[in-house]
Amino acid sequence: MTGTLPSSRISRCAAARSGTVLIVVAGLSALLASMTIAFLIRQRSSAEESTQFEQDIQARIMLIAGCNYIQETSRIGYDDGVDPYHREAFGWVDVRQLNADGTPMIGPNCRGSAPTDVVPLFQTALSEVSGQHGAAVDRPSWPAIGGVARCPMYVMQRPPYAVQLTAAYNPISTDPSSLYFGQPLQVNPDPQPVVTNPTSSQGTLTDFIVGDPTPRGNSTSMAWFRAYRDGPDTFVITCGAGATLGFNNWNEVVGAGFAQQFTSDPSLFQSYLQQEMRIWYRVQWSAAVATPDVHNIKNAWIDGASDDYYISFPMDSSQSIRSQSHCKNMGGTFRYIERLRIAPTWY
Amino acid sequence: MTAARRAPAAAYTLIELMLAISLGMVILLTMMAGFRVASQSITTVNRLASENQLMRLGCQMAHEHLDFWTDYDDPDNPSYQLLRSKDMNGGLPFTPMSNVSPYNQGGSPELSTGWNPAELWPMADPRVWWHGNVAEKCNSNVLLGRYSIFGNTANTVTVTGSFGSYGQVTVLHSWLYNQLWSLHNALGYYGYFDYAPANTLYECYQPWSGGQTNDDGEPLLLDTPGGAFASTEGPQYYPHGLYRLSMGTAMGLTSPTNSYAINSLSQQQYYYLDYQGNLPTLLRFNQDTTDGSSLVAQSPATWPQVQISMQRFIKTNRFVNVCRVICTSPITGQVMQLVWDGIGSSLRGARLQRNQIGSGGTTTSGWATWDDDPSTVASNTATLDDP
C-alpha cells in the first residue's frame, strides 16, 4: 500500500499552494502596475513641461515676426483704401523732415502729389476698444500712436506668389542619344508657380497673386504677436503662444467682433488666456540701415600712398565681397530690444 | 501490522519537495528577471526623462540669459556686477553712461556732449550728418580738402598740421563727432556698435595732434588697418562702417567668467577671423567670449551634468548670440550638445533693464521699473543709460 493521501487532503494542499502563487503573482502585478502608473504620471508631467517649453519657443519666434512686421510696415507701406496700390511709407519717424521744435516728424507718411507734400498714413481718431475702459472706444487704429496690430500666425493653404519646390526645371540631358546631351538649356521657365499656367487667364493670374490665405487647420491657435505703438518709434511687442488669437481681454474680443470665434463664451476665452504663454518686449525702431562706405578699390590698391581716391565698386555690386550689397535691408533696424520683466499696463 | 495503523504522511515527499522547490525557483527567477527588466527599463526611461528635463531647463535658462543677461551682470547680486567699472582706458559693457559719457547740455544742440538717451538721431537733423571725406585715408595728403573745419569735436579749431598753420575757424558741427569719440571706448567695441546707429561711419575729426590724428584731424586709431580698431582686411585706410569692420573680424563681448574681462582693453579688441583658417585666434576668441555655468550647482553624482554657455559677438554686420546646452551622461559619458543662435534683449535693452544706483535715492542696483501707464510713468526708475 502506498502512502497516498486522502483526496480531500490533496485538494487542501493544492489549494494552499495555488493561493500562495496567486498572492505572489498578485503582489508582483500590483508592484508592476504601480511602477507603470508612476511611469505614466512622470511621462505626463514631462509632456506638460514639453508643452510649456514648446510654447516658450513659439512665443520667442514671434519676437522675430514682430520685429520683422515693424520693420516692413515702416516703409513698405499700407493700403489706404483710396488708391489701388500700396502707399509707400517713409518710416515710423519720418527722416525727411523735422517739426518746428526740432523733433522728428511722426510717420508713417507717404508722398503727396507735390514733392513737398507729406500725407499721413494713419488716423488718430479713436475707433477701437482696448478693453481697458470697459466696452468704450478708447484707442486709434494701427498704425497711429496708441494703436495695436494683432497678428495671429498660421500657415496659409497657399501663400501669395507661391512657386513650386521643384529644384531643377531644366536638368541637363544625360541621354547620349539626345540632341541636347550634356547641354545646359533653359527650355522651361524657372521658377514656376504652384497654380498652373497663371497667365492663361486673369482668374488664374489673380490666384497666383492672391494665393489661398485659408489657414491650414493644424497651424492655427498656436502663436501670435501684437504690436502696441507707445511712441513715435517705440513699440511693445507681446509674443504669445496659445489660442487667444492675441486678444488682451474679452471686451477687446467683443469690440473687434470676434466673439463668435470663442463661441461667445467669455469663460472659454479666459481658459485659453490662463493656458497661454505671453512675454513682452519693448523695441525702438531706427531708420538707419547701412553706411555709405563702399569697397573703395583704388584706395585699397595703392597701399601706403597718401592720395585719396573715389574709385569704388558700386553699392549694388555682387562681385565685390566687401560691398554693402551683402547686407540688404529695406526696413530699418532696432536701437534696442528690451525684454520687459512684467507686463506693462498698455500693450 | 496493517496499513490502517500506519501514521498518515504529515509532509511532502522528497520528490514533491524537490519539484516544488525547483518549480518555485523557476517561477521566482522568472519573476525576478521580469521585474529586473521592468525596473531597468523604468530606470533607463527615468534617466532619459531626467536628461530631457534638464536639457529643457537648460534651454529655458539659456533663453533667460538671452533676455536678461544675468550671466554677464546680475542686478540681484552685487558681487556679480563685474562689468560696471571703468579704468584709464574706458568703460565696460555695463558701466553706467553717466560714468563714461556724462551728458552736458551745451548752449546749442550742436554743443551738447555725452550720452542722452532721448536723442533720436533723426537724419533730417544736420547734427547727425557725417560732414567728412569718406575717402580720406589715415595718411591722407589732404589734397581733396580739409574737412575738419566743417565738423569737429572742438567747436573752434586752430587749423594746423604737419605742414603748417592756417588760423582759427569756428566749426558748425560738433555733436556727432563728440558722440562718436566719447562712445568709442565707453562700453567696449561691442557696446560701441550696439549703441551707434547702423549707418554710422566710425570716424570723426578732432584738432590735429601729431601721431594721434592724420593731417586733417581724423584719429588714426579708427581707420588705420591693423590698428587697435580696424583690421588689415582689405586693407581699408579710410573710414569704416560696421560691415567692413566686422567682415574679416569678429568683435566679441569678453565674458565675465574670464578674469581679464574687467580690463577695459579686453572689451576693445577684434579677432581676425578671415578667409584663412586661423586656429589660435579662433581658440582665443572662443575662450574669451564664451561663458559657461552649470545648470545645477550641486547635484547628485548620478544626475546628468548640464552646462549652459552663451557667446555674444558681431560678425559680418550680424549680432550673433550663440547659445549652447551641453549635457553629459554620468553613466555612459555620452555628451549631447544643443547649439542655436537666439534672439532676445540687446545690450542696450539689458542696460535699460538695470537700475541706476542713486536713482530715486536707491543705494542698490536691482532691476529698473518701467511701465507705460501715464499715471505711473513718472515713477519709472533711471537706468544705466540715463544721465
Q: Which three cell numbers stand for residue B233?
A: 582686411
Give the 3-state secondary structure percentages of chain A, helix then strand then coil, rounded to 5.
30, 20, 45
pLDDT above 90: residue B102 = yes
Mean pLDDT of all residues belonging to chain A: 85
H or E element that contains B313: strand B305-315
Which residues in chain B are closer than 8 Å to A329, comparing Cβ atoms? 198
A107-113 CB contacts, 8 Å cutoff, 24+ apart: A107/A74, A107/A232, A108/A73, A108/A74, A108/A75, A108/A77, A108/A78, A108/A143, A110/A77, A110/A80
Q: Quote the minimal CA–CA distance from B365 to chain A in Å.
A: 16
Q: Quote the minimal CA–CA distance from A160 to chain B in Å.
A: 28
The DSSP bridge partners found for residue B309 are: B324
Comparing A86 with A11, which gets the higher pLDDT? A86
**B5 lies in a domain?**
no
The model's confidence at residue A1, banded by pLDDT at 50, 70 and 90, is very low
Residue B106, phi then psi, degrees to nearest 5: -85, -175
**B30 lies in a domain?**
no
Q: What is the DSSP letter of B8?
A: P
Which ranges in chain A belong to alpha helices (H)?
7-75, 202-210, 250-255, 266-275, 297-301
pLDDT above 60: residue A3 = no
Flag if A299 and B371 touch (Cβ within 8 Å).
no
Name residues 245-304 of chain A within 8 A of B (Cβ).
Answer: 279, 281-282, 286-293, 295-296, 299-300, 303-304
Distances (CA, A) of A83 to A79, A80, A86, A121, A231: 7, 6, 7, 12, 28
pLDDT above 90: residue B265 = yes
Beta strands in chain A, from DSSP E residues, in sequence order: 78-79, 86-87, 93-98, 104-106, 109-111, 118-120, 126-129, 137-140, 148-153, 156-158, 212-215, 223-229, 234-241, 277-286, 333-340
pLDDT above 50: residue A2 = no
Q: What is the DSSP letter of A193?
A: B
The model's confidence at residue B122, banded by pLDDT at 50, 70 and 90, is confident
Interface probe for A, chosen from B29, B63, B372, B386 (most Cβ of A below 10 Å), is: B372
Flag if A336 and B349 touch (Cβ within 8 Å).
yes
Q: Which residues contact A283 (CB under 8 A, 6 or more apart)?
A: A66, A67, A70, A234, A235, A237, A334, A336, A337, A338
Q: Does the CB of B350 have a partner CB in chain A at under 8 Å?
A: yes
Q: Quote the minimal CA–CA distance from A256 to chain B in Å.
A: 23
Name residues 120-139 of chain A within 8 A of B (Cβ).
Answer: none
What pLDDT, on the 0 to 100 scale, is given for residue A29?
85
What pLDDT, on the 0 to 100 scale, is given for residue B328?
92
Interface probe for B, chosen from A339, A342, A345, A346 (most Cβ of B below 10 Å), is: A339
Q: Does the CB of A341 have a partner CB in chain B at under 8 Å?
A: yes
Which ranges in B117-209 belong to alpha helices (H)?
175-183, 188-195
Q: Does the CB of B241 have a partner CB in chain A at under 8 Å?
A: yes
The model's confidence at residue A260, banded by pLDDT at 50, 70 and 90, is very high
pLDDT above 90: residue B150 = yes
Of A3-7, B39-43, B321-325, B376-380, the range with the lowest mean pLDDT is: A3-7
- Residue A224 three-state SS: strand
Chain CA centroid to CA A207, Å: 24
- Residue B154 three-state SS: coil
CB A295 within 8 A of CB A317: yes
Can you give the residue range of the structural domain that contains B305? 51-379
Distances (CA, A) of A81 to A69, A87, A143: 20, 10, 14
Q: What is the DSSP letter of B354?
A: B
Q: End-to-end alpha-carbon separation of chain B, Å?
A: 121
Q: Does the CB of B136 have a partner CB in chain A at under 8 Å?
A: yes
Which residues in chain A are closer than 8 Å to B34, comparing Cβ atoms? 28
What pLDDT, on the 0 to 100 scale, is given for residue A254?
96
The DSSP bridge partners found for residue B151 are: B173
**B155 lies in a domain?**
yes
Q: Which of A96, A233, A340 faces B124 most closely, judged by CB atoms? A: A96
- pLDDT per position as a tens digit, B154-209: 999 888 767 677 788 999 999 999 999 999 999 999 999 999 999 999 999 999 99
Q: Which of A277, A271, A266 has its CA nearest to residue A225?
A: A277
Considering its fold, how many domains does chain B have in total? 1
**B3 lies in a domain?**
no
Q: Which three cell numbers stand for residue B340?
A: 542655436
**B25 lies in a domain?**
no
Kindly report the number of other CB atoms within 10 A of residue A107's CB atom. 25
**B2 lies in a domain?**
no
For chains A and B, count residue pairs whose Cβ atoms are closer than 8 Å.
201
Distances (CA, A) of A286 to A97, A129, A180, A259: 15, 29, 54, 37
- C-alpha–C-alpha distance, residues A155 and A162, integer Å: 13
Q: Which of A56, A63, A288 faces B199 most closely, judged by CB atoms? A: A288
**B111 lies in a domain?**
yes
| Angle (CA) A272 A275 A276, round 5° | 85
**B20 lies in a domain?**
no
Enter the ipTM. 0.90
- pLDDT per position as a tens digit, A26-52: 887 888 888 788 878 877 888 888 888
Mean pLDDT of all residues belonging to chain B: 89
Q: Does the CB of A338 have a partner CB in chain B at under 8 Å?
A: yes
Q: Which three cell numbers stand for residue B348?
A: 542696450
Which residues in chain B are closer than 8 Å to A293, comparing Cβ atoms? 134, 201, 238-241, 244
Name residues 254-313 of chain B within 8 A of A (Cβ).
Answer: none
Q: Quote the minimal CA–CA distance from B167 to chain A in Å.
A: 24
Q: Which of A347, A287, A331 has its CA nearest to residue A149?
A: A347
pLDDT above 60: residue A5 = no
What pLDDT, on the 0 to 100 scale, is given for residue A202?
54
Q: Does the CB of B317 have a partner CB in chain A at under 8 Å?
A: yes
Q: Which three cell numbers stand for residue B197?
A: 546707429
Give the 3-state secondary structure percentages of chain B, helix then strand then coil, rounded to 5.
35, 15, 50
Q: Which of A303, A308, A335 faces B143 most closely, judged by CB atoms? A: A308
What pLDDT, on the 0 to 100 scale, is given for residue B264?
93
- pLDDT per position as a tens digit, A72-115: 999 888 877 777 777 888 899 987 888 888 888 899 988 877 87
pTM above 0.90?
A: no
Q: Which three cell numbers stand for residue B117?
A: 538717451
Name residues 154-183 of chain B within 8 A of A (Cβ).
Answer: none
CB A225 within 8 A of CB A66: yes
Flag if B241 and A290 touch (Cβ within 8 Å).
yes
Q: Quote the minimal CA–CA distance from B51 to chain A in Å.
A: 11
CB A223 within 8 A of CB A58: yes
What pLDDT, on the 0 to 100 scale, is given for residue B1?
47
Comparing B297 with A228, which gets the higher pLDDT? A228
Q: Which three cell numbers stand for residue A118?
A: 507729406
What pLDDT, on the 0 to 100 scale, is given for residue A83?
75
Which ranges in chain B belong to alpha helices (H)?
14-68, 97-100, 175-183, 188-195, 220-223, 242-247, 279-289, 347-352
pLDDT above 80: residue B64 = yes
Name residues 74-103 of chain A within 8 A of B (Cβ).
Answer: 93-98, 102-103
pLDDT above 60: residue A198 = no
